[in-house]
Structures are given as C-alpha cells and as structure tokens.
Amino acid sequence: MADLDKSDVSKLSDIEITEKINEARRELFDLRFQLATRQLTETHRFKKVRVQLAQLLTIQGERSRSNT
C-alpha cells in the first residue's frame, strides 16, 4: 500500500477511501500474522499502516458527519 499524504486522501472518492481502509486493515492483519510466525522483517510498517488507517478513518468520519 502506497504512502498517502492527507491532501491526497482528501481528494479520494468515498468508495476509494473505503477500499483503502480495507487494504490497510488487511495489511495490518498480514503484518500481525508475519510477526506471529517470525517472518516479519519490517517492523516499522506497523506504525505507518496504523497512521494511514487513522487518517483514512478520520476523513471518512468527517465526510459522513458533513453529509448529515
């Protein structure tokens, strides 16, 4: 999953944001699985993916509150 800036995230459509959220959650799952099986070499990916997921969820929440 490519790193996104907050400005890039705000330009995405709602469907694209939902897809990116699902990708980030899947990547976190995969990272946890690799950690459990001792195959993980890039531990810094946890923080990057978590921050990216938080940004995506924040933008999605802001949009849902502004649409109501």
For the chain, 68 residues long, give each residue's pLDDT as a single digit of tens: 566 776 777 788 999 999 999 999 999 999 999 999 999 999 999 999 999 999 999 999 999 998 87
pLDDT for position 68: 73
Q: How many other CB atoms sit within 10 Å of the CB of residue 13? A: 9
pLDDT for position 67: 81
